[in-house]
């Protein structure tokens, strides 16, 4: 059945009450959620409908605090080197409620990153492009330039292999994956700079990558200790805990 047919066949009037019933059952069984929320992790992740964070993490309500938008970005449209006010509000509130682990989640087969790769237009002195990049992605001009410059230093394939990630099936897919990862690292840097000024105790900012491919396991966590990604289904060689959450 095609995706259009699946959407047409889906009965939202039936599924929404069923979904809400399950959420409230989980809520009722967990008294700690009744007074306030104390999520363990915060995720910056993409609006892609194939990228549902609670299902990826296999958790119920109260565990993940999410910030979702096109291209998992924290940047201000038109001023891509700066955080958007919305991102500032989200980061500040997440830290206020006790989150001490923030994850930028890049994902495979991302339309935003495909567009960044496909748009070979020149950028102005601010890193702005045109077309979809300017109208919808906004901050991708700066981030794309950062990512492509970083990947140019070493070819995309060697860049991914150095990070412990598999390459794509084609050179284009390999380059898009490399840009996706570099983009996530750029968002991590923005978050790190913000929290260093915010204060309030140590906070970890991490990068993870959801492959979104037909593979046995496709969630990767970056380990700052040895500068490599590790498949979360496998043991972590440095025992930093990135593969066991």
- In the CATH hierarchy, which fold is given to the domain comprising 38-231? Beta-carbonic Anhydrase; Chain A (3.40.1050)
Angstrom distance (rounded) from CA 176 to CA 167 = 10
Please give the model's pTM, rounded to 2 decimal places.
0.80
Angstrom distance (rounded) from CA 173 to CA 144 = 16
Confidence of residue 199 (pLDDT cuts 50, 70, 90): confident
Instruction: Count other Cβ atoms within 10 Å, centred on residue 179.
Output: 26
As a whole number, mean pLDDT of residues 84-109 equals: 94
172-182 tens-digit pLDDT? 888 888 888 98
Angstrom distance (rounded) from CA 218 to CA 19 = 26
pLDDT reported for residue 245? 37
- The average confidence (pLDDT) of the chain is 79
Question: Do the Cβ atoms of 102 and 74 come closer than 8 Å?
Answer: no
Residues of the chain with pLDDT > 70: what percent? 73
Give the start-to-end residue ranges of the domains of the chain. 38-231
The alpha-helical segments, DSSP class H, found in the chain are 3-9, 12-28, 32-35, 53-57, 85-96, 111-118, 132, 140-153, 156-163, 171-198
Nearest of 213, 32, 37, 18 to residue 110 by alpha carbon? 213
pLDDT reported for residue 105? 96
139-168 tens-digit pLDDT? 455 555 666 666 666 678 888 999 999 998
pLDDT reported for residue 32? 83
């Amino acid at each position: 059945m095609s995706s259009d047919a699946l959407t047409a066949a889906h009965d939202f009037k039936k599924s929404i009450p069923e979904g809400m019933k399950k959420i409230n059952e989980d809520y009722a069984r967990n008294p700690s959620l009744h007074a306030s929320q104390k999520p363990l992790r915060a995720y910056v992740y993409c609006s892609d409908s194939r990228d549902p964070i609670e299902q990826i993490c296999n958790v119920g309500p109260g565990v993940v605090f999410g910030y979702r938008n096109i291209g998992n970005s924290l940047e201000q449209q038109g001023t891509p080197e700066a955080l958007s006010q919305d991102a500032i509000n989200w980061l500040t509130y997440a830290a206020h409620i006790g989150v001490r682990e923030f994850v930028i989640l890049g994902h495979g087969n991302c339309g935003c990153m495909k567009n960044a790769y496909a748009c070979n237009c020149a950028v102005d002195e601010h890193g702005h492009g045109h077309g979809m990049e300017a109208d919808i992605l906004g901050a991708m001009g700066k981030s794309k330039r950062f990512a492509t410059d970083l990947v140019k230093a070493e070819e995309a394939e060697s860049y991914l292999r150095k990070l412990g990630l598999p390459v794509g099936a084609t050179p284009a897919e390999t380059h898009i994956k490399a840009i996706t990862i570099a983009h996530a690292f750029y968002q991590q840097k923005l978050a790190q700079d913000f929290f260093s000024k915010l204060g309030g105790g140590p906070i970890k900012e991490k990068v993870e990558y959801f492959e979104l491919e037909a593979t046995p396991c496709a969630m990767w966590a970056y380990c700052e200790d040895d500068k490599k990604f590790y498949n979360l289904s496998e043991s972590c060689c440095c025992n930093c805990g990135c593969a066991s959450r």
